[in-house]
Structure 1
Amino acid sequence: MSSVSNLARIALSLGLPAGLLDRGPSLRGTKFLAKAALKARFSDSGRPFQMVNVGACDGALFDDVTPWLHRIPKARAMLVEPIPYNQKRLRANYPDTDRFVIEPVAVTRTKGTITVHTFDAAALEAGTLPIEFIGCSSVTDTNLMSGKNAWGEADANFNKFAPHLKDIEVPSETLQTLLDRNGITHIDAFLVDCEGADWIVFEQLDLKRYRPGMIKVEVGALPAPEIGQVVVKLKTAGYQVGFQAEDVWAFA
């Protein structure tokens, strides 16, 4: 995308009216990111924009936030992605190894290894599976992975896709270990999209210490009590919280 196109997108984002922003948390997120892009382009604050994305997938598909890393000059990110197939796509999309660190692990409560349910890379590459399955790996038994209430237990689609499911072992680390290892002392945007393990990740983030300006947590695969815990943690910390589709958006 050209520099002119980027500037046009930023200008349009900054012009969104308040009434519209109140009805669309993702639009508020767009304005937050546009302001960050403008600040990075015209201000020499000395501190680059820092994103942490846990469950980054390839950083492009069905992702309205991570691509802003290309529009925010000097932006940096820690992109956590445990699936080897997605890691390759992620690095191809974010080739600057100095600014974009890929952590090839899952985030868990303790260091070790963990089994991840995923789909066969060859089937994804061949187009045998729907493209959205690229981002559907999980450490939990989600509806998609079990077939329950996904297409319906009697739906032939699940029987067609099930043979391509596989379990792989991946290394796991705590969130704080990853932040410390990469010398991250501030976070501007924090994203979690872990297909059912989202609370396991988000509960580890020290909001008092890092205070991200924007937080986005996917809650579509979480049980109701954990969705409540996400919202309570954010509200208790004084964040403005909004729901859109399967995501919770929050702003400091």
Structure 2
Amino acid sequence: MARTAVSRALPVGVLDRGPALRGTRFLAGAQRRATPDRPFQLINVGACDGVLFDDVTPWLRRIKGSRAVLVEPIPYNQKRLRENYPDTDRFIIEPVAVTQEKGTIRIKTFDIPALEAGTLPIEFIGCSSITDSNLMSGKDAWGEEDGNFEKFAAHLTDIDVPGDTLQNILDRNGIEYIDAFLVDCEGADWAVFDQLDIERYRPGMIKIEIGALSAEEMGKVLVKLNAADYQVGLYAADVWAFAH
């Protein structure tokens, strides 16, 4: 509530320098404007459990009548996600990875027993990747070596999951518009965002994790957003973008 109040009170010039706060104002506005005829609609690719380290998806609980497609390929996270968002009519869980074409894909993740036992840091619950991301190579988001990685490497494992294109996912769920589009895919973020038809859907807000991307892919994310005339801000390892 305090964060919402601050986001509403700050002048636009100040708010533009705090993209996460601007996101709060956007979501608070969506809460006020929500109507049964035009529900708020969110697409989250890499949803994890929809709560941990996520300052956007939990707004689904506050925005009356909101709807979402929550894309999450890891079975362990799918179970937690459904427990957190039990309304199956409003919140669709897509148990797939977003890929270039439909089919099975191998994904790197961490052992569930180690996560459950607390052997691994809690943030590893949301860390699975189809790419050899920094995390999976023992580096932090900005490429610096992690001296603790050897303690965790033994718990990495590969699993096979179904994959499908972003457009197929949107089409089979009848998505005609998107209010907020989130991507957190541990290094596959550009591969997902590249598939979004941004002119067709033009989400009011876009949030993309770029910390595990190469410099080239970070640039591609920013170029696509700027070319579509979005106002872009950086906060920590995320890009926040807002339609004019």
Indicate the TM-score class for this superposition, using the shorter chain for normalisation. over 0.9
Please say if residues 51 and 57 of structure 2, whose CA atoms lie closer than 8 Å, have aligned partners that are also in contact. Answer: yes
Please say if residues 195 and 221 of structure 1, whose CA atoms lie closer than 8 Å, have aligned partners that are also in contact. Answer: yes
Q: What letter matches 1:29 in structure 2?
A: G
Partner of 2:18: 24
- Give the CA deviation at 1:163: 1.2
CA distance in 1, matches of 2:103, 2:54: 29
C-alpha offsets along residues 212-245 of structure 1, whole Å, 9 cap, x if unaligned? 0000011000001111111111111111111111
Partner of 1:141: 132
Q: What letter matches 1:152 in structure 2?
A: E
CA distance in 2, matches of 1:77, 1:89: 16
Q: What letter matches 1:184 in structure 2?
A: I
CA distance in 2, matches of 1:203, 1:98: 29
Please say if residues 36 and 65 of structure 2, whose CA atoms lie closer than 8 Å, have aligned partners that are also in contact. Answer: no
1:238 aligns with 2:229: yes
1:64 aligns with one of 48, 55, 74: 55
- Give the CA deviation at 1:23: 1.4
1:35 aligns with 2:29: yes
- Give the CA deviation at 1:11: 4.9
- Give the CA deviation at 1:9: 6.5
Partner of 2:166: 175
Partner of 2:145: 152
Q: What letter matches 1:31 in structure 2?
A: R
Gaps of 5+ in 1: none
1:55 aligns with 2:46: yes
Gaps of 5+ in 2: none
CA distance in 2, matches of 1:73, 1:126: 36
Q: Tell me the C-alpha RMSD between the 2 structures.
A: 1.6
1:249 aligns with 2:240: yes
CA distance in 2, matches of 1:152, 1:14: 40
Distance 1:12 1:37, change over 3 A: farther
Where 1:58 maps in the other structure, the secondary structure is coil
Distance 1:128 1:251, change over 3 A: same
Alignment of 1:43-192 (within 5 A): 44=35, 46-148=37-139, 152=145, 155=147, 157-192=148-183
Query: How many residue pairs were aligned?
Result: 241
Where 2:158 maps in the other structure, the secondary structure is strand
CA distance in 2, matches of 1:148, 1:39: 42
- Give the CA deviation at 1:122: 1.1
Please say if residues 151 and 158 of structure 1, whose CA atoms lie closer than 8 Å, have aligned partners that are also in contact. Answer: no
Where 1:23 maps in the other structure, the secondary structure is coil
Q: What letter matches 1:15 in structure 2?
A: A
Please say if residues 3 and 21 of structure 2, whose CA atoms lie closer than 8 Å, have aligned partners that are also in contact. Answer: no
Q: What letter matches 1:175 in structure 2?
A: L
Q: What letter matches 1:37 in structure 2?
A: Q
Give the TM-score normalised by the residue count of structure 2.
0.94
Q: What letter matches 1:243 in structure 2?
A: L
Please say if residues 105 and 171 of structure 1, whose CA atoms lie closer than 8 Å, have aligned partners that are also in contact. Answer: yes
CA distance in 1, matches of 2:74, 2:45: 12
CA distance in 2, matches of 1:10, 1:84: 33
- Give the CA deviation at 1:45: 6.4
Give the TM-score normalised by the residue count of structure 1.
0.91
- Give the CA deviation at 1:98: 0.5
